[in-house]
């Protein structure tokens, strides 16, 4: 099983080296997403250690002192071998613009591929300009089926969409 698709809730952290941390009690799996975009998993980490790590004043120092020395990390391979540096523009059923893209592409906008709704790492997801959010496929599906279209949101959507498109190449809805 490809562990990069396991849904472990990732919580963004403030650190110069670590972007987000997640923990799964079943299997005592600690997942660490580094600011370089590389993700490692550490198995057998007790819940107390994971909690202390997530709450540490300096997660980087805690990691080096209490995690790295005692557990061998397993580097997770990205879902895609080559990062795609483009996004596909789509229109939602409710009328908003969205961009289907990858976690690697969100880095160009300062993101880390963490869904803004459920806090899970999403190797593939959607940028939603009207919300200025990155969403995993599950959260995007839920939002696009229950959301409402408000004309007063158009200027916000257009401003964010223009910024996204100024930074990242776009393919049309046909994938060209």
52-61 pLDDT, tens digit each: 999 999 999 9
Please give the pLDDT value at position 158: 94
Select the more confidently predicted residue: 150 or 37.
Answer: 150
Residues 97-123 have pLDDT tens digits of 999 988 888 888 888 889 999 998 888
Long-range contacts of 108-111 (CB under 8 A, 24+ apart): 108/167, 108/168, 109/164, 109/167, 109/168
pTM of the model: 0.55
Please give the pLDDT value at position 64: 93
Average pLDDT of the residues in 140-153: 92
- CA atoms of 128 and 138, how far apart (whole Å): 14
The two tokens of residue 27 are: 């299997």
């Amino acid at each position: 099983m490809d562990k990069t698709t396991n849904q472990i809730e990732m919580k963004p952290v403030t650190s110069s080296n670590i972007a987000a941390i997640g923990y799964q009690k079943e299997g005592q799996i600690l997942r660490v997403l580094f600011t370089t975009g590389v993700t490692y998993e550490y198995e057998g980490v007790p819940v107390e250690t994971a909690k202390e790590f997530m709450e540490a004043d300096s997660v980087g120092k805690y990691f080096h002192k209490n995690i790295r020395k005692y557990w061998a990390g397993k580097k997770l391979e990205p879902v895609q071998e080559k990062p795609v540096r483009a996004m596909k523009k789509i229109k939602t059923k409710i009328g908003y613009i969205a961009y289907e893209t990858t976690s690697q592409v969100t880095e160009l906008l300062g993101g880390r591929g963490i869904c803004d709704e459920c806090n899970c790492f999403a190797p593939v997801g959607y940028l939603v300009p009207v919300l200025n959010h990155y969403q995993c496929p599950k959260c995007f599906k839920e939002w696009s089926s229950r959301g409402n279209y408000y004309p007063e949101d158009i200027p916000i959507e257009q401003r964010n969409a223009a910024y996204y498109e100024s930074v990242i190449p776009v393919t049309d809805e046909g994938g060209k």
